[in-house]
Structure 1
Amino acid sequence: MLSILQAAGWPIIPLLLASIVALALIVERWLSLRVARIAPPTLVDEVIGVTKSHLPTNDTIQKLADNSLLGRVLAEGFKVAANEPRAPEARLRQALESAGRDAVHAMEHYLNALGTIASAAPMMGLLGTVIGMIEIFGASGGGTGGGTDPTQLAHGISIALYNTAFGLIVAIPALMFYRHFRAKVEAYTLTLEQAAERMVPHLLKLTGGRR
């Protein structure tokens, strides 16, 4: 593998860097988009059960915000309910929606960079191949001999194609994980929206706010 990379020349260096960045982004998003860190399945039921008859204390609200992104969204609703007694439904929805947008933005962090690598890697590989082909034909055309060795020419072309192959090797997994993470973000977004819809009537019941 090392000899192949050396033979491919300097155009493969950006692809190597892109592969390292893509791997780091995949690992980071894989860890960050776990269910426990985004939307624990029983969190809404637990919160509603604990706060059936009263609003939670500030310490409890802070612990809820630190629990997960869903907890952060729910905590914003409780903060408004605690700071603005009898807050109307529109105010509660506004707070939950604003927190939800922040949560979605956090989930989408680095995804654009991963998508850019998935899109650019094949073109970077193709550029490396084109540069290699230019060098090969330039060298073979500039000689003073009677002809070009077909075997040597074929070997040079195969080496130039390493860049294209490596670009695809980088792009395909990056694109697959990008699509996977995008699907997870969309599913989590729906979960956050459904949780917010459940919390609005619960908060109105606790605060006596108007619809």
Structure 2
Amino acid sequence: GVTGYIGAGRADQARELVQGSGSPMGRVLAAALDVADHDRETLETVIVHQTDEEVRDLSRYLQALATVGNIAPLLGLLGTVLGMIKAFMVIQEMGGKVNSAVLAGGIWEAMMTTALGLAVALPAMVAHGYLVGRVDRFEAQLQDGAVRFIAALGRRS
């Protein structure tokens, strides 16, 4: 792999390997190879910057998913309130003589919007939690790969 090529002093083969991969790890290591001859601080800065960029790219839709998960119950609550307002308006229009069938329409609307809001929010929040965990694990893998790369640079012939 890349660390083997680096350890053996074969930076050109390492560069070909990482540039051909098209993966986030490949892009991090390609950026690191570009500054491999600089001081360690520069190398680490470039690796941290590129890793952050890759994590940002992987996380780009997570905020939207979280927003959907957070707003859906509020929209359901809004529908509940509007449905109950409708039910009370019917009671007022009928002069207090409640027709349960007409009243049920407003209550049904209220309960349906609550259910729909929760039906959207629950899977969105589960998916968000799962994807955040995946991004976190991937970030740890990128950092681990970068540490192994730096160690291989220190061992090169």
TM-score computed with the length of structure 2 as normaliser: 0.88
Matched, 1:190 2:140: yes
Residues 139-178 of structure 1 aligned to structure 2 (within 5 Å): 139-143=90-94, 147-178=97-128
Q: 2:4–2:152: 8 Å Cα contact kept in structure 1?
A: no
Task: Please identify runs of 4+ aligned residues in structure 1 that moved more than 3 A.
Answer: none
Matched, 1:130 2:86: no
Corresponding residue for residue 78 of structure 1: 33
Residues 29-178 of structure 1 aligned to structure 2 (within 5 Å): 46-51=1-6, 52-56=8-12, 60=16, 61-64=18-21, 66=22, 68-81=23-36, 85=37, 87-143=38-94, 147-178=97-128
2: CA distance, partners of 1:57 / 1:195 = 17
Q: What count of residue pairs does the alignment treat as equivalent?
A: 155
Q: 1:48–1:202: 8 Å Cα contact kept in structure 2?
A: yes
Once the 2 structures are TM-superposed, how far is the Cα of residue 92 of structure 1 from its aligned partner? 1.2
Structure 1 unmatched runs, 5+: 1-45
SS class of match (1:53):
coil
CA 47–198 in structure 1, closer or farther in 2 if over 3 Å, else same: same
Once the 2 structures are TM-superposed, how far is the Cα of residue 79 of structure 1 from its aligned partner? 1.0
Aligned-pair Cα RMSD in Å: 2.1
Identity over aligned pairs, percent:
32
- CA offsets, 1:129-184, max 9 Å, x none? 1112112211331235x711124313431232100100000000000000000111
Once the 2 structures are TM-superposed, how far is the Cα of residue 191 of structure 1 from its aligned partner? 0.8
From 201, 205, 209, the equivalent of 2:151 is 201
Once the 2 structures are TM-superposed, how far is the Cα of residue 205 of structure 1 from its aligned partner? 4.0
SS class of match (2:60):
coil
One-letter amino acid matched to 2:141:
T
2: CA distance, partners of 1:88 / 1:160 = 64
One-letter amino acid matched to 1:203:
L
1: CA distance, partners of 2:15 / 2:143 = 25
Once the 2 structures are TM-superposed, how far is the Cα of residue 115 of structure 1 from its aligned partner? 0.3
SS class of match (1:56):
helix
1: CA distance, partners of 2:136 / 2:41 = 25
Once the 2 structures are TM-superposed, how far is the Cα of residue 57 of structure 1 from its aligned partner? 6.1
Once the 2 structures are TM-superposed, how far is the Cα of residue 55 of structure 1 from its aligned partner? 1.1
One-letter amino acid matched to 2:103:
L
2: CA distance, partners of 1:58 / 1:188 = 21
2: CA distance, partners of 1:57 / 1:188 = 25
Once the 2 structures are TM-superposed, how far is the Cα of residue 99 of structure 1 from its aligned partner? 0.7
